[in-house]
A and B are shown apart, each in its own frame.
Chain A
């Protein structure tokens, strides 16, 4: 329950900013998959295979809620031809929530390590490659 709100925040905190709603979705998919493979079932977004790989409607809601409650900022970066990239970053409010959650032990060390591993491995991967990788892991 808490993890579903906290994991996206930890991920945003580790990456500094998450460039793309698509990237957010795929990275969360990797984290959830890895966590489940290690016996942690506390993050359970309803990923389904769509046009560009795994996508979860409930994760989309969570991201929107985190933005609405000002734990994350969402900036729309538009290319000259009008295509939009959603960019997410932590706010001060998000950071303090995360610190409080860490202090209370709401995120296990094991889960933190998984998020860090995924962030390092895939965080900066070009988006088309990230989508390909997510497809491959579906």
Chain B
């Protein structure tokens, strides 16, 4: 019966729901990886015995499989036939069978909690953050902050670009940040709102200059060396640096310090002035 249903499963491009559930159970529910795999197998097959598990997962030892099946039953993921107590030969003839319990039932409390967090708790936190957003941000401005990991760092930079009101000034080397979808979309969004975007780079890739130019953003090439940076509305400064375990991920220093920002704004203006002078002389 179980074999019949699994054979009807079609290979589709969407993610395999069993794998997704397995991943959820491991990452969020903190279930042991092999336990999650056995539970997913039970759901696929409809019924399990330790023999079926060993056939599908030959790397596992018989005793390990029995222990894991018993543990999954105790946790409510599986229900089983009774263990036959008696002579060995009798037990062999009647292997313990396991039926999967629906994940909706197993995860009921967790899902209810998630729904509550999503619908009520996070909405309350949203209200709290909206109220905080109406207050002055002096404490933020006074310090230098480190945004990491890379996903958070890029997302902070992207949303700062998207929220720019007036002007964005970027000093870069090769402009590889343009390959990030979030940053590209943010620049497109800011540009379409009429925000002035100025980019100066030491050696920009040609596909980047073409891409930026399609958004109406001109890239000026300079030979003046400096660390890369981005200034938003002359109020917020982002300085990227490489970090992470292998030192290959982009992280950001962020600050609203007026003095520091002024220095970077001046550097940016000087590069422009110098460039204009050189062009005039040529």
Write the residues of chain A forming the contact surface with B, with a CB cutoff of 8 angstroms. Answer: 20-23, 25, 50-52, 55, 57, 60-61, 76-86, 126-128, 131
Contact = CB atoms under 8 A, between A and B. Distances in A.
B140 interface: yes
Contact of B131 (A50, A61, A76, A127): A127
A102 to B, nearest CB: 30
Interface residues of B, number: 26
Nearest to A48: B120
B120 to A, nearest CB: 6
A55 B134 contact: no
A82 B133 CA distance: 8
A57 B129 contact: no
B202 to A, nearest CB: 27
Given A50-B124, A57-B120, A60-B123, A80 B160 contact: yes
B130 A80 contact: no
B133 A79 contact: yes
A83 B130 contact: yes
Nearest to A84: B129
- Determine which residue in B119, B129, B159, B162 has the highest number of CB atoms from chain A within 10 A of its CB, and name it: B129
A77 B126 contact: no
B124 A52 contact: yes
B176 interface: no
A82 B127 CA distance: 14
Contact of B128 (A52, A79, A126): A52
A84 B130 contact: yes
Nearest to A53: B127
Contacts of B254: 80
A55 B127 contact: yes
Contact of A21 (B127, B140, B160): B127
A55 B163 contact: no
B132 A83 contact: yes
Contacts of A55: 123-124, 127
Contacts of A61: 119
Contacts of B128: 51-52
B156 interface: yes
Contacts of B235: 80
Contacts of A21: 123, 126-127, 130
24 contacts: A21-B123, A22-B131, A51-B127, A51-B128, A52-B124, A52-B131, A55-B127, A57-B123, A60-B119, A78-B159, A79-B133, A79-B137, A81-B140, A82-B156, A82-B159, A83-B132, A84-B129, A85-B130, A85-B133, A85-B134, A86-B126, A86-B130, A127-B130, A127-B131
B119 A22 contact: no
A128 B132 CA distance: 9
